[in-house]
A and B are shown apart, each in its own frame.
Chain A
């Protein structure tokens, strides 16, 4: 069965510092992987996605993620965090079967301190 693990429930970083959010997945076939961001009281917005090809993918707002098949990981990174990046971040894996289901991790809450 497919699953997504985000081991860090909450992370605090200083503005301008680098960021890495961890994501591990479990899925038997080639994964479709996503990172979404949710600001307070809002819906979710796509940051980036990986389907195939280059394992380092670029997204919006200066985020990038690297797919590592050997580690079943898809970690999200940003070299310099801005106060506006404070939000909840969700990693997701999608299945390529009939329903194209998307399964989400439990999320990582990011706090940015000045």
Chain B
């Protein structure tokens, strides 16, 4: 299995509080991604990174920010959590399409915003 660790795995928080989810990889892959999974919507891309300090927005980036100060860590921050951000969040990594192209997923972080 790809070395991807997400933390925390479960979190319950209140509306308006900041939340940070961490993704840590041991594979030295260049690309990292944050997705959210919701019933009826599949997986939607929030933000992605193509290198240290190189990040960009995905389909549903409003209300989220990211940072990547090291190759192995990709942080997702909800500055002020809302109930609509209750979801399961998946981190994924990839060597890139010019290599194997495969996207490897973490086990997910379930976030509940009350």
Contacts and interface: CB of A to CB of B under 8 A. Distances in A.
The range of chain A's interface size is: 20 to 34
Nearest to A4: B42
Contact of B42 (A43, A45, A106): A106
A32 B101 CA distance: 9
B10 to A, nearest CB: 12
B53 to A, nearest CB: 14
Given A32-B97, A49-B101, A99 B56 contact: yes
A100 B31 contact: yes
Chain B interface helix/strand/loop/mixed:
strand
Given A43-B107, A99-B31, A104 B42 contact: yes
Interface residues of B, number: 26
Interface string B14-51: 00000000000000000101010000111111001010
A43 B101 contact: no
A71 interface: no
Given A32-B101, A43-B107, A46-B103, A103 B96 contact: no
Contacts of A106: 40-42
B32 to A, nearest CB: 10
Interface in A41-69: 42-46, 49, 51
Given A100-B50, A102-B94, 16 more contacts: A9-B40, A34-B102, A43-B106, A44-B90, A45-B105, A94-B103, A98-B56, A99-B48, A100-B48, A101-B45, A102-B45, A102-B92, A104-B35, A105-B42, A106-B40, A107-B42
Nearest first, the 3 A-B pairs at minimum CB distance are A43-B105, A106-B42, A104-B43
Interface of B: 31, 33, 35, 40-45, 48, 50, 56, 58-59, 90, 92, 94, 96-97, 101-103, 105-108
22 contacts: A9-B40, A32-B97, A32-B101, A34-B102, A42-B107, A43-B90, A43-B106, A43-B108, A44-B90, A46-B102, A49-B102, A90-B42, A99-B48, A99-B50, A100-B96, A101-B45, A101-B48, A101-B58, A102-B33, A102-B92, A105-B42, A106-B42
